[in-house]
Amino acid sequence: MSETDARSYTVRLELVDEPGELLRALEPIADNGGNLLSIFHERGNLTPRGRIPVEVDLEATPGKFDDIVEALREAGVNVIQAGAERYSEELTVVIVGHLVETDLSDTLQRFQECGGASVADLSLSAPAGTGDVSSARLRLVASEGRSERALSTLRGVAAEKDLRVIEPLTEGSA
């Protein structure tokens, strides 16, 4: 692989719960040529040190990625883990039901914890308000061979919360 080939990486950070901390953590990524793919930030979930865990998926060349990690550390951002995530599979699903009432952030967190997959994009539609049925379109990215495991996790969480998952057709499906 040449130094000019961009790859997908995941950086796990630990942030203090203060205004501007997320922006401060994202600036070194932008300043060093990183392209953000997704950010998973959940204020209600604290690390054992009482900080907020944040997972950032980004694209960069290997050299730029090293610069990004170094710049994050120099900026005083606690980098818990930094490495390549070879997301090679992408699929889009729709979840329908009482998404807000059943805690959408919990649903997403449990999906993220399945490993090898991430929510790259989310679009929520609640035309009758957050107390009624809503839908969310999720663009999922997964490591090679992990799409089925990711879908299985999503199906399990959805069944538990009485949500419907509308899945994409895959090759060979009837």
Q: What is the pLDDT of residues 8-50, one digit of tens each?
A: 888 989 899 889 999 999 999 999 999 999 898 877 777 767 8
Which pLDDT tens digit goes with each residue over 97-156?
A: 999 889 888 888 887 777 667 777 788 898 888 788 999 988 777 776 778 888 898 999
pLDDT computed for residue 129 by the predictor: 83
Which pLDDT tens digit goes with each residue over 38-96?
A: 898 877 777 767 888 898 999 999 899 999 999 999 998 988 888 765 556 778 899 99
d(CA 153, CA 159): 10
Report the DSSP pairing between strands 52-60 and 117-125.
unpaired
| pTM of the entire predicted model | 0.51
SS3 string, the chain, reads CCCCCCEEEEEEEEECCCCCHHHHHHHHHHHCCCEEEEEEECCCCCCCCCCEEEEEEEEECHHHHHHHHHHHHHCCCEEEEEEECCEEEEEEEEEEECCCCCCHHHHHHHHHCCCCEEEEEEEEECCCCCCCCEEEEEEEEEECCCHHHHHHHHHHHHHHCCCEEECCCCCCCC
For residue 109, give both structure tokens: 């967190």
Structural domains of the chain in order of their starting residue, each with its CATH number: 7-84 (3.30.70.260), 87-166 (3.30.70.260)
